Amino acid sequence: MELDVSGLQVTYAGVIRALRDIDLRVGTGEIVAVLGSNGAGKTTLLRAITGSLKRHRARVDKGQVTFGGRSLVDAHPADVVNRGVVLVPEGRRVFGRLSVEENLKAGAISVRSRATRAERREKVYGMFPRLAERSGQRAALLSGGEQQMLAIGRALMSGPRLLLLDEPSLGLAPQIVTHIGEVLRQINREGTSVMLVEQNAAMALGVADNGYVLELGRVELSGPAAELAASDDIASLYLGRGHADGTDREAPGKPGGPGGPGSGVGGSGSPGGPKAGTAAQQPTLSRWTPPPRGRFGLLGAGAVTGAGRP
Amino acid sequence: MTTFLSFLLNGLSLGSLYALIALGFVIIYKASEILNFAHGAFLLLGAYVIARVEPSVGFAAAVAIGIAVTALVALASEQILFSRVRSAHVASLTIMTLGLDVLITTDLTRRIGSSVMSLGQPWGADVVRLGGVNISENRLTAIGVAFVLIGLLFAAFRFTSWGVALRAAAEDPEAAALMGIRQARVGAVAWLIAGGLAAVAAVFLTGSPTPGLEPNLRTIAFAAFPAAILGGLDSTTGALAGGLIVGVAESLFAGYSSDLTFLGGGFSVVVPYVVMMLVLVVRPAGLFGTKELHRV
Ligand SMILES: Nc1ncnc2c1ncn2[C@@H]1O[C@H](COP(=O)(O)OP(=O)(O)OP(=O)(O)O)[C@@H](O)[C@H]1O
Ligand SMILES: [Mg+2]
């Protein structure tokens, strides 16, 4: 079963175009990383896959989302879960007033068989012993890391074939982020495909097979994770490594790239830093990565293909 | 002392009935975010159906039919009116429930007319003596039945998939949907249960010492609203506590009204509201509520 997104365009409230012409694929058994800064459209992409657009007054204008060949566009979120695709939402969203065990039960609502539920619960407890120790406690009392474990465990209760995660490393200590990366690898080894949306590129590209970079609602870059991780652009923009000798590669011809300035994506903040060179083409990036003088185009790293499929 | 105990016991009985009604009100609110002011009308409907069919089918069958009809009408109103206009403002939905209330009540009031209908409770007006305290058999049975039902409901809430789904969806509808919970289905079950509970409460609220079914049953049931709100609106424990508090307070004030003439006659009628206001001033979210009521 593979997830296939093609030519996807999504609009909020009929006016705010959050995604345009997205092509993306998660093959069976793959881990795919989706990177992008704030407002790039990562969460919107996940909403489109999980049937949650309607709740946010958004819709698919164009394009397709299919899983195992069947369309997920306009599906009810519960049907998406039944088809084997489940999301660990941004900000964890565990049910704070429910106990840990009840959270897992809520995650297994689509599972008829009591035996299957019990088996999966034991598996989750095996994977996260901390949760087993706290099974009777209200989820609100767990630490952030434990809540993220619970959010992942809860999603696993439905027995997904494809697990989607929206910034699971957000606000967590480095060791816990590493642990989550290991857990995702393990889940993947056991046969679940993973689509990992992250701003933490180091972790995401570390575990993924392939990666995509979203900017302003478009796929700016995609390719094998190792190559993306090695590319200077990713290094400087997402991994916090320096921009050593950036100057000699000044703007290697980004031919009026597709994600031009002001492409209609609203609300994600304006460029905070000085605009220079191609700066205007990546306004959202400048907000959190202080722009090095004159250079922040994403393209240009030789090994990596341009927008599109890996 | 025995009079006090008598007032207390009668208050507990009345309170357990309020709790049944308040619980229905609360689970509907939790499941659908609607304040269902048609709940009093559901109660009236349950009583009316039972009173109408009892002569031909007998009491037990009549109660079963009354419960079923009320539950189905509650479900139907949710399906026809409220689930379709999910996107409407909560206030509009609440006003819609008032409209439904007026509709059902007006029709039933016309049908009942000025008569006092009997539901044919087999225990009639018998009075039991319990350790020196007199209580009508009706009121005593009410306590037993109400507590069994409340116990079952609490167990369902805690342990069944429906209960977990309802609580999850009440806390975070979007996350619940992402876990595969169908809020519409959870809500439908909530309306069914709430309707059924209202019909049960009607059986006892129309029994001794009340002479029978009169249209003002709906106003009696209205005391369950402040009970639900002072308990915390989104808390089932709160509905139980609120119901009991309101029932006991009302019964005590009614019982001692001759000593409390400075409050004016009929003060017991406003007691539920006074208690509610006092509680809300101190705890705006109610006794057990988790959300302040600003959403309404
Ligand atoms: N409910 C909404 N209504 C209107 N516009 C929205 C809504 N949600 C998101 N948007 C807009 O869609 C664009 C993409 O937002 P999205 O939340 O998908 O970004 P993101 O990549 O997940 O960002 P972040 O890293 O901050 O979570 C943004 O411009 C945002 O303002
Ligand atoms: Mg997001």
Chain B residues whose beta carbon lies within 8 Å of the beta carbon of residue A110:
179-180
Which of A53, A76, A105, A165 to mutate against chain B (most B CBs within 10 Å)?
Answer: A105
DSSP codes, A208-256: -SEEEEEETTEEEEEEEHHHHHHSHHHHHHHS----TT-GGG------S
Amino acid at B56: S
Do the Cβ atoms of B275 and B226 come closer than 8 Å? yes
Quick one: pLDDT at residue A57?
93
Chain A residues whose beta carbon lies within 8 Å of the beta carbon of residue B161:
105, 109
Domains of chain A, start order: 3-233 (3.40.50.300), 236-258+272-307 (no CATH)
pLDDT above 90 for B42: yes
Quick one: pLDDT at residue A236?
66
Quick one: pLDDT at residue A237?
67
Kindly state the average pLDDT of the residues A232-244.
Answer: 60
Whether A95 and B182 lie within 8 Å, measured CB to CB: no
Q: Among residues A6, A165, A170, which one has the least CA distance to residue A86?
A: A165
Quick one: pLDDT at residue A204?
94
Which of B164, B181, B185, B288 to mutate against chain A (most A CBs within 10 Å)?
Answer: B164
Quick one: pLDDT at residue B124?
85
pLDDT above 60 for A304: no
Amino acid at B66: G
pLDDT above 70 for B47: yes
Q: What is the pLDDT of residues B239-275, one digit of tens each?
A: 999 999 999 999 998 888 777 777 776 777 888 999 9
- CB A55 less than 6 A from any atom of ligand 1: no
Rounded distance between C-alpha atoms, residue A156 and residue B14, angstroms: 47
Ligand 2: distance of its center to the CA of A88 in Å? Answer: 12
For B183, the closest chain A residue by CA position comes to A78
DSSP codes, chain B: -HHHHHHHHHHHHHHHHHHHHHHHHHHHHHHH----TTHHHHHHHHHHHHHHHHHHH-HHHHHHHHHHHHHHHHHHHIIIIITTTTTS-HHHHHHHHHHHHHHHHHHHHHHHTT--B----TTTT-EEEETTEEEEHHHHHHHHHHHHHHHHHHHHHHHSHHHHHHHHHHH-HHHHHHTT--HHHHHHHHHHHHHHHHHHHHHHHTSTTS-SB-TTHHHHHTTHHHHHHHHTSS-HHHHHHHHHHHHHHHHHHHHTGGGGGGG-TTHHHHHHHHHHHHHHHH-TT-SS-SS-GGG-
Q: What number of CA atoms fall less than 13 Å from residue A27's CA on the CB side?
A: 8
- CB A128 less than 6 A from any atom of ligand 1: no
Chain B residues whose beta carbon lies within 8 Å of the beta carbon of residue A96:
171
- CB A16 less than 6 A from any atom of ligand 1: yes
Query: In chain B, what is the straight-line distance between the N-terminal and C-terminal CA atoms, in Å?
Result: 43
Do the Cβ atoms of A236 and A288 come closer than 8 Å? no
Q: Among residues A19, A256, A264, A18, which one has the least CA distance to residue A7?
A: A19
CA-CA-CA-CA dihedral for A98, A99, A103, A104, to nearest 10 = -160
- Residue whose Cα lies nearest atom 7 of ligand 1: it is A12
Which of A98, A109, A154 to mutate against chain B (most B CBs within 10 Å)?
Answer: A109
Whether B164 and A106 lie within 8 Å, measured CB to CB: yes
Amino acid at B90: V
From the CA of A143, how many Å to the nearest CA of chain B? 19
A78 at interface of B, judged by CB pairs closer than 8 A: yes
> What is the pTM (predicted TM-score) of this model?
0.83
Ligand 2: distance of its center to the CA of A80 in Å? Answer: 20
| Band (A287; pLDDT cuts 50, 70, 90) | very low
The first and second tokens of residue B272, run together, are 């539920």
